Structure 1
């Protein structure tokens, strides 16, 4: 009797996957055949696609491997473990999501969906470098994973690496040219490196495609304001309000032009939006700042102050600012930058004299100084560059310190390291330079806390302190809502303390580095423009040029709140405005102390 052949026993999907995993390192072709069988039976098995990608790469079939990785991403919506992690991320339960994702990646280190989710988690807690590294790994494994590449562009943008972000966005848009979020981010990044013409074109295209998207119209308005197209900017802001009448940021954007006077209908619309239960906290503080400006324009000082005060109160509640931290930082800098410390490092750093740093308080006239200098044929204006704080804080973090860490880290730096940092600054800012002019401006006001850092890494750079009457300057800040940063400016006492610390540090550097910093007093510049400009140019080592007195004719792009003001001849508008509000400014005057009493210095 002939023996009958028995059929091979059926195995489960789990067993088949286990066989493929064991077989893959030594025999990827056999593993791939097994994985193809699994996918034929159960195509939603993401791990089968992921293992198939590994097998295909081992067999030299790279493009097919990339396609398999993308299919694994698509099928991950059926993966219960990743669904749990995604749900936790959606609910911001990061402590739940993190162990799930790390456990997954220990078992399956090439799971690009899990890598992307862990990168998102890292970004949320501020670990941008970790997030970037994870996302680079994801797009290395799956170059066509557009969502991960778009996330990478966002993380690069948040690190102020705008050119790198654009490079990634170009790759995303090459595959998905109609992706509006990537086009929007690219336009924003272009605006940060001076690519204004292309940014305007992108926003024009986006607002045509999405005419009811209020924030796109608002972003369009911002870039039009920057390039000096004020009427077009106003039209864009009004288009945003037509789409979303209660959007507080747009009302503030109109107010922030400084030249728009609101109508009675505008005030009624803002008040109605403020009274609406649907208004968000962000809408509310923007509306209060805008209404403060509207009341101010009609001389209603007490209602104006009430709106400014409430806008500041709401904004301050969102921020974590401690005046004692700033005073402690200034104390640490003064203790570090003593004559012996500076003398031991004389002549070190990078020798370039290209940068002109304009620093000091916001709203102190720095944009006017920048516009004057950028009208000189040997000076290029850029914008408020984030590079110096980013570099200093990185050095502090790398040495294990907190926000003050750079003050200690710089003490241990060799002359070679100081020169490297100067070269790094010049390299990073090169993307901002559009002309062959030998000198360029970095006018980030907050660089005053990094003055010692700047001096050591770029000892030949020009440093200008833009100084304005303390009451005028501080109240101007109180009236201003800043798009980001300036957490000190939403409380009168905090503001006075911040100004006093700034003056205290500048006095210290005047003592230990006499003549290093050239001070421009705003009121003196207004009273004697030619005399002050000549003194400024002499300090930089430049010949006088009459174009500097015709700065308002310069059509360069200006990104700050003073953009429209510096497009007019020099004037006294805005000076002494605080006097209308004097009755409510006691906390500011008390915090300023002797600084207010001894003005002008």
Structure 2
């Protein structure tokens, strides 16, 4: 039977109202302290989150999650004493492999903030190597996946199914690679009075997985009635997260770019926004990020390049066979001219311009992604070319990208 303390700890991050109560009840439990930090970070209480993560590290110095959570705030809270302690911990032969992985990423971030880029990359690579070893399946054939998607979702496919699906313009899908500006786009949209931000909803992927289990031709065999039912199923599941009563809502699951064809089939009136960033910047940003789950491709530079090509080919295919149905928001353009780009973004989402969207950073909504701290401040340009500090280490990424390294726009 699961320990009730462990059950409480697992649920804590998703229940901020209970966070303080449970932390007070179990003051010596480092896992509860970490998840209290997660809850406070989501709510926007930066100082409270830092204190909770520090407490977890004090209670259990080898707790890699506590150290990585401090680093992952991305506001430079780790200092020289922390560096010495993390290096000491990494020398321990009895250190759990997952703690070693998290400590490596945390030290990499500390060194990056200090401008020690070569040392920083060494630790990012060490952490990524551990994460890569833990993956449960070999890398897929991304080129074949892109070809299969293109073969199924042709112009003729959609022409024969015109008018199918659930008639709702409520969903706004924000897709692309992680660390490409999707949380920023979500925050801008969610500041509009007619649009609600929810979270990275799993329902499209769940429907796609269920259909895949029925065979490669399962989507092609769906009847009009079944297609509509799937759209209604998604809307019902997503409806649980719609708590503000607004007309539109955002589903910010980046990997839904894989399922654009399914979305266009079951929810033909939904808005799809593709957030695109320079592939070297996006690739390195993914590589140095330790994700909570999934994103196995991000722990190998060469695979990252192939994955970006898969993403680019997939989105471009749908732009060709369903022209005008995907709005591509280039991150660099949004940073360069935010006012004009935000106006165009709102127009693409089908809502009137709202000036408060220009002050998205004042929105106090809960943000559940690793970019939570960045989107609570105005847009800044400093990150655009930051990857060039690491360019000499990113050869495998650039080689795998091929021509996508230059023709990605």
**TM-score, structure 2 length as denominator?**
0.97
Aligned mate of 1:439, from 235, 240, 248: 248
Alpha-carbon distance change, 416 to 534 in structure 1, aligned in 2, over 3 angstroms: same
Aligned mate of 1:558, from 367, 379, 404: 367
Q: Contact conserved, 1:184 with 1:202, CA < 8 A, in 2?
A: no
Q: Contact conserved, 2:12 with 2:35, CA < 8 A, in 1?
A: no
Counterpart of 1:482? 291
Q: Contact conserved, 1:289 with 1:481, CA < 8 A, in 2?
A: yes
The within-5 A match list for 1:502-521 is 502-521=311-330
Aligned mate of 1:219, from 22, 35, 41: 35
Counterpart of 2:5? 180
Deviation at 1:327, TM superposition (A): 2.6
What secondary structure, in the 3-state scheme, does the structure 2 residue paired with 1:441 have?
strand
Q: Could you say what the CA RMSD is over the residues aligned between the two structures, in angstroms?
A: 1.4
Q: Contact conserved, 2:173 with 2:252, CA < 8 A, in 1?
A: yes
Alignment: residue pair count: 409
Counterpart of 2:186? 370
Deviation at 1:203, TM superposition (A): 2.4
Q: For 1:207 and 1:311, how far apart are their aligned partners in 2?
A: 30
Deviation at 1:312, TM superposition (A): 0.6
Q: For 1:248 and 1:297, how far apart are their aligned partners in 2?
A: 19
Alignment of 1:390 onto 2:199: no
The within-5 A match list for 1:440-479 is 440-479=249-288
Listed one character per residue, the Cα deviations across residues 127-152 of structure 1 (whole Å, up to 9, x for unaligned) are: xxxxxxxxxxxxxxxxxxxx6xx8xx
Q: Contact conserved, 2:9 with 2:31, CA < 8 A, in 1?
A: no
What secondary structure, in the 3-state scheme, does the structure 1 residue paired with 2:342 have?
helix
Q: Contact conserved, 2:76 with 2:113, CA < 8 A, in 1?
A: no
Counterpart of 1:357? 173
Listed one character per residue, the Cα deviations across residues 166-223 of structure 1 (whole Å, up to 9, x for unaligned) are: xxxxxxxxxxxx94344344435xx2xxxxxxx2232222222222211110011001
Alignment of 1:346 onto 2:162: yes
Aligned mate of 2:92, from 276, 293, 308: 276
Alpha-carbon distance change, 324 to 392 in structure 1, aligned in 2, over 3 angstroms: closer
What secondary structure, in the 3-state scheme, does the structure 2 residue paired with 1:514 have?
coil
Judging by fraction of residues, say which structure has more helix: 1
Q: For 2:106 and 2:8, how far apart are their aligned partners in 1?
A: 30
Alpha-carbon distance change, 182 to 287 in structure 1, aligned in 2, over 3 angstroms: closer
Q: For 2:270 and 2:84, how far apart are their aligned partners in 1?
A: 51
Aligned mate of 1:293, from 90, 101, 109: 109
**TM-score, structure 1 length as denominator?**
0.67
Q: For 1:373 and 1:395, how far apart are their aligned partners in 2?
A: 31
What secondary structure, in the 3-state scheme, does the structure 1 residue paired with 2:198 have?
strand
Deviation at 1:323, TM superposition (A): 4.0
Counterpart of 2:222? 413
Counterpart of 2:342? 533
Q: Contact conserved, 1:183 with 1:202, CA < 8 A, in 2?
A: no
The within-5 A match list for 1:84-163 is none
Higher relative contact order (CA 8 A, sep 6+): 2
Listed one character per residue, the Cα deviations across residues 461-480 of structure 1 (whole Å, up to 9, x for unaligned) are: 00000000000000000110
Q: Contact conserved, 1:312 with 1:491, CA < 8 A, in 2?
A: yes
Alpha-carbon distance change, 491 to 204 in structure 1, aligned in 2, over 3 angstroms: same
Alpha-carbon distance change, 244 to 183 in structure 1, aligned in 2, over 3 angstroms: closer
Structure 2 gap segments, 5+ residues each: none
Aligned mate of 1:209, from 7, 13, 25: 25
